[in-house]
Amino acid sequence: MSTGTIKTETNKAVARRLYEEVVNNGRLELLDDLIASDADDETRARSGWSTGRDGFQQHVVWLREAVGDLKTTVTDLVAEDDRVVVFWRIEGIHKGEVFGVPATGRPIDSTSISWITFHDGRIISYNVLPDRLTILRQIGGVPD
C-alpha cells in the first residue's frame, strides 16, 4: 500500500470515529486526537461558538442535546488526498432548538453530507450540508 493510500485510509478512519465515537457516544475526550487545535468548524450554527477543538466540542454537545436518542450512521466515505466526504444519516428525537424550531418531541430521520479536510491525520476543517428541508418538515418548521 502506498503512503498516499495509507494516509487516505487513516483520514477515512478518523472521519468515521468522529461520528461513531464522538457524536454517537459523546466521547469528547477523543477530540484532542482527532481535531487539530486550530481547526475550523465552518458549520457552527450558533453565534458565539469558539473556534478550534472548543468549537467542535460545542457543536457536538449542542447536537446531542438538541437530538435525543441520537444515532448517526456513516453510509459512505469518499476520499482523495487530504479530503474526505462523509455521507451520513441522523436519527433521533427533537429535544432542543434545531434550525430555529423549539423542541417538539418528534422523530428526526434525515441525511447529511460532510466534507472534512485533514492535515497530519487530524481534522483542520469541517463543513456539513444537512437536508434541512426534510428535518424542518419532520419537526413542523415548514408545512409538509
- pLDDT score at 52: 83
Give the contacts of 48 (CB within 8 A, at least 6 positions apart): none
Mean pLDDT, residues 20-38 taken together? 96
- pLDDT score at 45: 47
Q: How far apart are CA 55 and CA 61, in angstroms?
A: 10
Mind listing the pLDDT tens digit for each residue in 6-18? Answer: 899 999 999 999 9
Domains of the chain: 3-138 (3.10.450.50)
- pLDDT score at 48: 67
Q: What is the pTM of this model?
A: 0.92
Phi-psi domain of 47 (left: phi exceeds 0; alpha: psi -120 through 50; beta: other): beta
Model confidence band, residue 29 (pLDDT cutoffs 50, 70, 90): very high
pLDDT surpasses 70 at 47 = no
Mean pLDDT, residues 76-80 taken together? 96
pLDDT surpasses 70 at 21 = yes
* Chain mean pLDDT for the chain: 93
Mind listing the pLDDT tens digit for each residue in 118-134? Answer: 999 999 999 999 999 99
Model confidence band, residue 50 (pLDDT cutoffs 50, 70, 90): confident
